[in-house]
Amino acid sequence: SNKTLELAMLVTARENDCMYVWNAHAASARAAGVPDAVVDALRDRKELPALALDEAAVINYGREFYRTHRVSRGAFQSAIEQFGKQGLIELTLTMGNYALIAIAVNSFDSELPANRTEPVLPV
């Protein structure tokens, strides 16, 4: 779903400290149904509120991969149960694509738009 992919982009942005991708997707993630409390907790690296199963699957899968460069059997199983094989492939490729974007914009110190609506990531 759009909610799943937007959340994947946010997890990728946060785990890579990419203000540009975060700014580009935080509002659209909220609009797609990611609860404000989840977006804010991800942004501020605070304890996450109670999560829906799909939200937990995306966040755990992404965090495990970005932090350990692997995904545990449990995180993989939860994600495949939520999204199916094709959905998990799309989720993984979306995270990889946005990690590539994060590397590029972080490397070139891309400017944030002046009219941004989201606060800057605390890094």
Whether the predicted pLDDT of 109 surpasses 80: no
pLDDT at 121 over 90: no
Distance CA 83, CA 40 (A): 24
pTM of the model: 0.91
- What's the mean pLDDT in 118-123? 76
116 touches 21 (CB < 8 A): no
**pLDDT digit string (tens) for 49-67?**
999 999 999 999 999 999 9
The whole-angstrom separation of Cα 29 and Cα 118 is 12
